[in-house]
Amino acid sequence: DTEVTQTPKHLVMGMTNKKSLKCEQHMGHRAMYWYKQKAKKPPELMFVYSYEKLSINESVPSRFSPECPNSSLLNLHLHALQPEDSALYLCASSQGRGQFSNQPQHFGDGTRLSIL
């Protein structure tokens, strides 16, 4: 069982809908990540939160809006998505910076998103 929980597992939405992806971990990790993965391509980093502050935004379109309400939760709010945004969205966490900066990332199972 993965220690990073993502919901929902599957999501189908229209281009005018608003929905959210959720990610939760209880390992005490202080860094959390969103990745986008298209078929047969590597995961691409979208956002990183470090100690609940947005640390990296990889020039992601504003129709994706991340939120980190507390150290255990990470959300990705979706609005007015395009068909090309259909992909697997992976959440990950890691311990944090300093002496923990070279710890591995722990991934969830992902949300499979389809935009109609």
Partner 1 sequence: ILNVEQSPQSLHVQEGDSTNFTCSFPSSNFYALHWYRWETAKSPEALFVMTLNGDEKKKGRISATLNTKEGYSYLYIKGSQPEDSATYLCAFRMDSSYKLIFGSGTRLLVRP
Rounded to the nearest whole angstrom, what is the least distance from the CB of residue 48 to partner 1 in the complex?
Answer: 5
DSSP structure class, residue 103:
P
Residues whose CB is less than 8 angstroms from the CB of residue 36 and which lie 6 or more positions away in sequence, other chains included = 43, 44, 46, 87, 88, 89, 90
Q: Which residue, 18 or 58, has its beta carbon nearer to partner 1?
A: 58
Which of these ranges, 20-28, 44-52, 63-71, 74-82, lies near partner 1 under the rule CB under 8 A? 44-52
Q: Which residue, 7 or 82, has its beta carbon nearer to partner 1?
A: 7
Residue 56 touches partner 1, criterion: CB under 8 A = yes
Peptide bond into 43 cis (omega under 30): no
Choose among 87, 79, 82: nearest CA to 116: 82
User: Where along the sequence are the contacts to partner 1 (CB under 8 A)?
Assistant: 2, 4, 31, 33, 40-45, 48, 50, 55-56, 58, 90, 94, 97, 101-110
